[in-house]
Amino acid sequence: MASTTDYINLTLYQDESSEDTVTFDTTYAIEGEKLIARIGKDFSATAFTGDDDAGVLVAYVINNVGAAYTDGTYALVISGGTITDATGTVTIANGIVTTVSITNGGSGYTSQPTVTIGGSPGTPTTAADISLIPGVAGYLTLNGKSEQDAAGDTYTISLSNTKTGALPDDFSGYWDLVGEDSTGKTLRHMQGEVFLEKSITKISSFT
C-alpha cells in the first residue's frame, strides 16, 4: 500500500464466499489501529436489498490476534444490547485468535459492545482485541482480521455466501477500508467499485 488513497475494485461472486487480503507497505504499520471494511450502494448510505439488520451484530473484526493464549474454543462475553445480548465463540490456535463466530447477533445495539474472552484462555503476553460490528442501514460490513508482521502488515476481509447471495442481480456499489488510530483520527485507506458476478443456474449433470 503506497498511500491512503489507493483505489482498488472488488469483485464478488453471488452465492459464493469471498476473501481478499490487503497487504500494507512495511513502512505503513497498522498496529494499534482499528479497521472496518464495508460495502455501500453509494457514499450516502442509500439503502439496498441485502442491507444488514440495524442493531444486530453482523460482523467481527480481529484488530489484534493476541499471543500466548491457551488453545481451544471459548465463549465470547458480549454486553450492550438493549433488547437481547448477542452470543459468540472464539477459536484460539497456536496461542492466537484465529476465528470468531457470532452465533446470535442479538438486538438493540447502537454501538460496538464490550467484548472479552470467557472461560480459561490462560494468561496471554499480548491481549487480543476483537470488535463486533452492529449493522447500519445502507452498508454491508465485511468480517476482518488484522495481522501485524515486520515483513508487512495485512488485513483480510471476508463475506459469507449468504451475504453475497442476498445482493440483488442488479447491484452496483462501492467499498472502502476505513481506519481509526489510537488518537481517534479516521482515515479512508482504500476504496473502489464493487462488481457482482451473478450466479448461474446449476446444471443437473454436475450434481
How far from the centroid of its chain's Cα atoms is residue 148's Cα? 16
* pLDDT for residue 207: 57
* pLDDT for residue 60: 93
* pLDDT for residue 22: 87
* pLDDT for residue 154: 86
* pLDDT for residue 189: 87
* pLDDT for residue 3: 42
CB 109 within 8 A of CB 134: yes
Helix (H) or strand (E) holding 145: strand 143-147
Distance CA 207, CA 189 (A): 42
* pLDDT for residue 33: 81
Residue numbers in the chain where pLDDT is lower than 50: 1-4
* pLDDT for residue 182: 78
Fold that domain 1-52+136-199 belongs to in CATH: Immunoglobulin-like (2.60.40)
CATH 2.60.40.10 domain locations along the chain: 1-52+136-199
Distance CA 175, CA 194 (A): 6
